[in-house]
């Protein structure tokens, strides 16, 4: 079961809880002693979903969501909102969060203070290529391009709405940054001197394998807030908001991950 993605395990727990709630409602409905009503059933199903979520080893922060989901659905139904509003809200959320259920990396943004720490680490002289893997609304590469116009900047973003917003911002700024809408796993990182990520702990092992096997010797990988498990960084820059928002940096060397170098090439697109 643990091999299944977290979102799928959460869905299974909800469906099983719903399936259990229906016969329970029928049984209780025949008993004159106590009729729980829809809110009561939703609460019981929520408790069952959270318990099942625990059994299916969902991360702890999923359990309150499991508990509250069905009661929230029942509560929302009492507002009698038009159905299209739910669909519109779903479409907006989908366009911003897209495959977050798979990547486990939602949209949240880094800020100027972290960008300045990164800016100070860019190659001191000469042309260089920079990429933000999971570029969100594009703020970081646009900012760096404004500060260091001698570099070439690129952002890659899988979710349509943030990507579109980035494209519009780049167009307004004069086209100084290129934004691609694709999964960063499909890119070849060998063309880049500096790669930046602000993702999640779940994404870091794969990012490390990819960077270590594709980036050339001397290139730098930076990660905001999330270290690579088991790989000590060459650089840790703590910010004003403390260790939780440290900027970690790794310089690529040939002796890291030699075995992965051969088989980790997903290179579909290249920037060369
Ligand atoms: C936490 S946000 C960071 C945004 C931006 N880099 C910043 O620092 O403000 C992570 C972004 O990565 C995107 N993302 C997650 N997995 C991705 C993937 N496999 N390929 C491309 N983008 C991805 C998400 O859609 C989200 O917008």
Question: How confident is the model over 54-75, as pLDDT tens digits?
Answer: 999 998 989 999 999 999 999 9
At 260, the pLDDT band (50, 70, 90 cuts) reads: very low
Note the pTM of the prediction, 2 decimals.
0.81
How large a percentage of the chain has pLDDT more than 90? 69
Cβ of 184 less than 6 Å from ligand 1: yes
Q: Where is pLDDT greater, at 99 or 270?
A: 99
E-only strand ranges, the chain: 129-133, 152-157, 177-181, 194-197, 220-224, 235-239, 242-251
- For residue range 1-14, what is the model confidence (pLDDT) as tens digits? 667 888 889 999 99
Beta-carbon contacts of residue 196 (< 8 Å; ≥ 6 apart) = 118, 130, 131, 132, 133, 140, 221, 222, 223, 224
Q: How far is the CA of 22 from the centre of ligand 1 (A)?
A: 39
Asked whether 222 lines ligand 1 (CB < 6 A), one says no
Nearest C-alpha to atom 8 of ligand 1 is from which residue?
110
Residue 33 pLDDT: 64
Q: Which domains does the chain have, with CATH numbers?
A: 6-80 (no CATH), 112-263 (3.40.50.150)
pLDDT in tens, 9-55: 999 999 999 888 878 777 776 765 666 688 888 998 999 999 999 99
83-97 helix and 160-172 helix, angle to the nearest 10 degrees: 60
| Whole-number pLDDT of residue 10 | 93
């Amino acid at each position: 079961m643990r091999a299944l993605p977290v979102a799928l395990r959460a869905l299974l727990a909800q469906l099983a809880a719903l399936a259990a709630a229906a016969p329970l409602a029928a049984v209780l409905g025949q008993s004159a002693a106590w009729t729980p009503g829809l809110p009561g059933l939703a609460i019981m199903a929520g408790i069952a979903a959270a318990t099942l979520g625990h059994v299916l080893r969902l991360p702890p922060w999923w359990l309150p969501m499991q508990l509250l989901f069905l009661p929230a659905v029942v509560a929302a139904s009492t507002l009698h909102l038009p159905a299209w509003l739910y669909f519109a809200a779903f479409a907006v959320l989908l366009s911003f969060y897209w495959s977050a259920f798979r990547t486990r990396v939602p949209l949240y943004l880094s800020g100027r203070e972290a960008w300045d720490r990164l800016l100070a680490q860019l190659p001191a002289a000469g042309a260089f290529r920079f990429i933000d893997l999971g570029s969100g609304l594009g703020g970081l590469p646009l900012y760096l391009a404004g500060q260091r116009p001698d570099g070439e900047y690129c952002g890659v973003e899988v979710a349509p709405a943030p990507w579109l917003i980035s494209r519009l911002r780049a167009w307004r700024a004069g086209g100084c940054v290129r934004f691609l809408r694709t999964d960063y796993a499909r890119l070849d990182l060998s063309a880049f001197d500096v790669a930046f990520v602000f993702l999640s702990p779940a994404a870091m092992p794969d990012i490390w394998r990819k960077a270590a096997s594709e980036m050339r010797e001397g290139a730098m990988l930076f990660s905001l807030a999330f270290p690579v498990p088991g790989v000590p960084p060459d650089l840790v820059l703590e910010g004003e908001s403390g260790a939780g928002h440290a900027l970690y940096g790794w310089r690529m060397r040939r002796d890291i991950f030699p075995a992965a170098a051969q088989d980790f090439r997903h290179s579909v697109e290249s920037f060369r």
